[in-house]
Structure 1
Amino acid sequence: MAAAPRSILIFFIIAISAFHLSYSKPNGFTLKLIPRDSPQSPIFPGNLTTLQRIERLIEFSRARARYIELTSSPNATTLHPDNIRLTLLRDNFFYMVQVGVGTPTTGVYLLLDTGGGLIWTQCLPCINCYPQRTPMFDSSKSNTYQNLPCSHPLCQGDRSLYKCVNNECVYNINYGGGASTSGIASIETFTFPVDTASTVRLGPVVFGCSKNTQNVQFAKGGAISGVLGLSLSPDSLASQLSATTQNRFSYCLVPFTQAQQAPSLVRFGDDIPHPSSNIYITPFVPTPRSHYFHLNLLDISVGFRRLGFPPGTFAAAPDGSGGCIIDSGALIPQINQNVVGGCNAYRQVMSAFQSYYNSFQQLMRIGKVPQGFALCYKYPPDFNMFTSMTYHFEDADYIVDPKYVNFYDEQGGYFCVALIPGNGKTILGAWHQQNMRVTYNGNINSLQFSVETCSNDV
């Protein structure tokens, strides 16, 4: 992806009214996304073939799915710790941002977590930090740094996110599997590059000055300094900034086949364009124990065949487990394979695809492929009867174009249905969001979407 070296993706949703912001534009701005396999990424793996890129996307998707399932579980800190330890904070984040912290600014790269809350970066002096090859933020050298006072709402009450210890507001985040970070809850000014010539300064922003980081395995020897939380949690960057961005953010993901040539943009507030096609709206589902963006999925269609899942098949449990979420960090979509109400949704969806494609004599089913997809076919070059898939959400049908339902290996002459099984959640991942304008509108607590050619979003 041809993104500027100082690029960023941010997601904004709920308001915290106590924060004042300063923008180059009063009510909106536009930023760029850095995928980890982009040449602009500090953990760029080198030039990869299309096949290698897709294999990595699938690996990230599976790791991301495990992470989401484990961290949204009521037993997140104890459930299957060995499954999460090797992938946590390493393979389950595909996107990152470059930001400046403090005044004068210290540039850091942070991994994006749409399901996480606190923004944190390693800080000097550090009691126990992993090696970081970029400079750590030194709060003593910033003119705008402050400790978050114990009187702050985020640090008061039995259910507060942080705790007051020895007159300091401190945090301790346990990601499960032995990975954790702790430090001083702080307030600072953040600087985000808009392009090569201008920046946006936001503040004050609550963040974590990490002094003790355990078992966090960032790739490539410390190029990443921390995590940028963008969830519905009140301490995420999204929540803190939404008052000025009118509770709205929007992105349009350029197809992965074009991602090295055209950047994907994230727009905020007044910078969100008016869609050129029909807008569809579905409400977010309140899920008290989860900060992910849950949607009310009622049913699924393969082509014109509606599968007729029983009510509640895709509903979230009261403890936050299960349900259907939209997550751009989960690249390959997944359908829950756990039996709910006597049905295995993943198996039924894949059976419907198999039934459709088996009806064409010119298609030949093949077995194992390098990408690991379960349903693949050899096909002649002139075959063009690929089918769509529809997510039937509350009040809106989200139709995935046939081009983005499947993965195509042109050299191998085969295609595969681009779905993987989920162990609890159904996830509308980035593969099914290609060439779709997706807007998170907190004013109406809903997701808006419309078809768009994302490479034209310049």
Structure 2
Amino acid sequence: MSITTIYGLRIELVPRTSVDSVLFPKNLTIEEIHQRIVDLSRARAFHLASASVAKSSQNTLNREPETLKPPISSSPLAILYLTKMSIGSSKFSPYLVVDTGVDDTWLQCEGCKSCFPVKGGSFSAQQSKSYHASSCDDPLCFDKSCFRNVCSYNWMYRDGGLLKGVLGTDSFTFNGGNSTGITFPTLAFGCAYESQNIIFGGYIGSENVISGVFGLGAGQRSILKQLETVTDLRFSYCLPSWTFPNGSSTFLRFGPDAQITGDDKRKVQTISLIPNMSRYYVNVTGISVDEKRLDIDPGLFKLKNDGSGGFAIDSGVGPTLLVPDAYSVLRAQMIRNFFRYAWHPIEGKETPYDLCFKAASSAGNIDVKIPSMTIHFQGGDLAVGSNSVFESIDGLLCLIFQPTEQLGPNLLGAFQQANNRFLFDVKKSTVSFVPETCNEK
């Protein structure tokens, strides 16, 4: 199928809980699954905080988050959704981490040294007849670091992860629920022949299925930008509520296939993205619980000049993460809400979340109302239902939010995005959202 005849594009998003048996073996309890999702989310937030304030806060960078536990690391690759596609004439079919915060797509390639193990092996550029190394004059060879007119690929993560290799092109075939698939013949990606300290949020072993990263930022090497004639720099998704032990897959939709509609009861709201950023930051002005505005300083959500702070939409984390001064206000309000039922926070028990309750027998037949929430953006409000605020875990009712580093960023996680369709339009620097029942869409 030629690119000119494609009406949009879609790729499947798969929760790591479904396929990553290293980090999520099938015998985990609900509590253990939540614990690992929480640790993945905090690890990612810790990395983002480290990356944004590296030049100004060494003390913060050298401090490990107190709740970080093995087997989770502070890798930026510790995120929740993967995708799968076919690459090259050899039909290599890897799982890649889907990251909306980076531009580059990269794969570990066969013949590399200091490599992480991949179940089924790494990508063999030699066996793919459609693979070509990019020349030094390729527009996507940014730093013009070359050897024998082949563009070198070098990528360093701020937590010590390092990739070295070449920039190349090959065909990418996206299945997207279509039995025939859609093939793009020359997409650029990094072919890594050396990878150091590359981890995916868990102990890497022979069962690791992740081969690299699928970058969906807004930069020149992003798949979003490389396929601009198809994507029109817009994409949408609708995340189902997380059910355990396995979450449901969904689809990323691009270009004309990325649509959002409402009706009399479901109003589409559109807010501004902060432009020229590597992440999808938005302006948040406050939070309400059961329509009561919390006394949170809006400055805690603002993006600072040094790159710290801010509030980003990030489907790569589970629970929403708030800076401590904002989270403490939310936590105190929830305690007050349940005090009327004689419910008190659980003390002295290890739980995945910072605030959990056990129903008190003295509550009797009182109709307990679980609070809902509203996140106020500049230009719109996201209603978060009670089932996306609290989760029942092994007999406890837990607030599925978490505190993060004081320097941020705040992150709107997948749990609170559930059952809403989001549409990101990079050309317009906007994101739109509307309530929708997300069921493998």
1:217, distance to aligned residue in structure 2 (A): 3.1
1:260, distance to aligned residue in structure 2 (A): 3.6
Alpha carbons of 1:44 and 1:220: their partners in 2 closer, same or farther (altered >3 Å)?
A: farther
Q: 1:395-434: CA deviations, max 9, x gaps?
A: 011111111111223x41x312221112121110011011
2:425 pairs, out of 435, 441, 444, with 441
Q: 1:345-402: CA deviations, max 9, x gaps?
A: 22222222222332x1343332244433222222268644111222111101111111
Amino acid at match of 1:292: R
Asked if structure 1 preserves the Cα contact closer than 8 Å seen for 2:32 and 2:352, the reply is: no
Asked if structure 1 preserves the Cα contact closer than 8 Å seen for 2:44 and 2:75, the reply is: no
2:334 is equivalent to residue 349 of structure 1: no
**Structure 1 range deviating more: 216-225 or 273-282:** 216-225
1:426 pairs, out of 404, 410, 432, with 410
Alpha carbons of 1:136 and 1:349: their partners in 2 closer, same or farther (altered >3 Å)?
A: same
Matched residues in 1 for 2:302 and 2:27: separation? 41
2:399 is equivalent to residue 417 of structure 1: yes
Asked if structure 2 preserves the Cα contact closer than 8 Å seen for 1:76 and 1:176, the reply is: no
Structure 1 residue matching 2:192: 3-state secondary structure: strand
Q: How does 1:280-429 map to 2 (within 5 A)?
A: 280-286=269-275, 290-337=277-324, 344-358=325-339, 360-379=340-359, 383-409=367-393, 411-412=394-395, 414-423=396-405, 424-429=408-413
Asked if structure 1 preserves the Cα contact closer than 8 Å seen for 2:24 and 2:33, the reply is: no
**Structure 1 range deviating more: 427-436 or 297-306:** 297-306
Residue 45 of structure 2 corresponds to which residue in structure 1?
65
Amino acid at match of 2:398: C
Matched residues in 1 for 2:320 and 2:247: separation? 24
Structure 2 residue matching 1:265: 3-state secondary structure: strand
Asked if structure 1 preserves the Cα contact closer than 8 Å seen for 2:14 and 2:81, the reply is: yes
1:212 pairs, out of 181, 188, 194, with 194
Alpha carbons of 1:176 and 1:211: their partners in 2 closer, same or farther (altered >3 Å)?
A: same
Q: Which runs of 5+ in 2 are unaligned?
A: 66-70
Matched residues in 1 for 2:57 and 2:157: separation? 7
Structure 1 residue matching 2:218: 3-state secondary structure: coil
1:136 pairs, out of 116, 122, 136, with 122
Amino acid at match of 2:10: T
1:86, distance to aligned residue in structure 2 (A): 6.5
Asked if structure 1 preserves the Cα contact closer than 8 Å seen for 2:153 and 2:191, the reply is: no
Asked if structure 2 preserves the Cα contact closer than 8 Å seen for 1:35 and 1:41, the reply is: no
2:14 pairs, out of 4, 21, 34, with 34
**Structure 1 range deviating more: 165-174 or 75-84:** 75-84
Amino acid at match of 1:313: L
Percent same amino acid at aligned positions?
Answer: 29
Structure 2 residue matching 1:59: 3-state secondary structure: helix
Matched residues in 2 for 1:139 and 1:31: separation? 23
Alpha carbons of 1:107 and 1:262: their partners in 2 closer, same or farther (altered >3 Å)?
A: closer
Structure 2 residue matching 1:187: 3-state secondary structure: strand
Matched residues in 2 for 1:89 and 1:112: separation? 14
1:250, distance to aligned residue in structure 2 (A): 1.1
Matched residues in 2 for 1:115 and 1:62: separation? 16
Count of aligned positions: 422
1:65, distance to aligned residue in structure 2 (A): 1.4
1:67, distance to aligned residue in structure 2 (A): 2.1
Matched residues in 2 for 1:143 and 1:43: separation? 35
Asked if structure 2 preserves the Cα contact closer than 8 Å seen for 1:74 and 1:321, the reply is: no
Structure 2 residue matching 1:351: 3-state secondary structure: helix
Amino acid at match of 1:293: Y
Residue 145 of structure 1 corresponds to which residue in structure 2?
131
Amino acid at match of 2:278: H
Amino acid at match of 1:316: L
Q: 1:172-215: CA deviations, max 9, x gaps?
A: 21113332111101122111222372212124211001111112
1:42, distance to aligned residue in structure 2 (A): 8.2
Alpha carbons of 1:375 and 1:33: their partners in 2 closer, same or farther (altered >3 Å)?
A: same
Residue 341 of structure 1 corresponds to which residue in structure 2?
none
Matched residues in 1 for 2:399 and 2:268: separation? 27
Asked if structure 1 preserves the Cα contact closer than 8 Å seen for 2:136 and 2:149, the reply is: yes
1:47, distance to aligned residue in structure 2 (A): 4.1
Residue 68 of structure 2 corresponds to which residue in structure 1?
none
Alpha carbons of 1:384 and 1:272: their partners in 2 closer, same or farther (altered >3 Å)?
A: farther
Instruction: Give the TM-score normalised by the residue count of structure 1.
Output: 0.83
2:149 pairs, out of 150, 167, 173, with 167
Structure 2 residue matching 1:256: 3-state secondary structure: coil
**Structure 1 range deviating more: 259-268 or 243-252:** 259-268
Q: Which runs of 5+ in 1 are unaligned?
A: 1-20, 338-343
Asked if structure 2 preserves the Cα contact closer than 8 Å seen for 1:99 and 1:109, the reply is: yes
Structure 2 residue matching 1:69: 3-state secondary structure: helix
2:96 is equivalent to residue 110 of structure 1: yes
Matched residues in 1 for 2:421 and 2:369: separation? 25
1:56, distance to aligned residue in structure 2 (A): 1.9
Asked if structure 2 preserves the Cα contact closer than 8 Å seen for 1:88 and 1:217, the reply is: no
Matched residues in 1 for 2:268 and 2:348: separation? 39
Matched residues in 2 for 1:415 and 1:114: separation? 31
1:90, distance to aligned residue in structure 2 (A): 8.2
4+ aligned runs moved over 6 Å, structure 1: 40-43, 76-79
1:311, distance to aligned residue in structure 2 (A): 4.8
Q: 1:45-90: CA deviations, max 9, x gaps?
A: 2243322322222121111211222233344998736849971548
Alpha carbons of 1:149 and 1:220: their partners in 2 closer, same or farther (altered >3 Å)?
A: same
